[in-house]
Amino acid sequence: MVSMKTSLQHLSGIALMDTSCKPEVIWYFDEMELPEDLKERFRVLFQTREKWTLDEIRPYVQ
């Protein structure tokens, strides 16, 4: 049996995790698919998730 360890940091900028449900859910959310226009990008980000930590949002606004 092959054992593999991973980290949520590996998904930074390509996926989000919803910890409010059980089991927790991870879904695809790629930074490259967001609008380039900053105002529109923030609109999409805050439509997707009302509250972000700095570490969560950083890859989507750099």
Q: Give pLDDT tens digits for 5-56.
A: 778 888 999 999 988 889 999 999 999 999 999 999 999 999 999 999 999 9
Q: Is the pTM of this model over 0.95?
A: no
Q: How many CB atoms lie within 10 A of CB 34?
A: 17
Is it true that the peptide bond before 23 is cis, omega within 30 degrees of 0? yes
Q: Kindly give, in sequence order, each residue whose CB lies less than 8 Å from that of residue 12, ignoring residues fewer than 6 positions away.
A: 58, 59
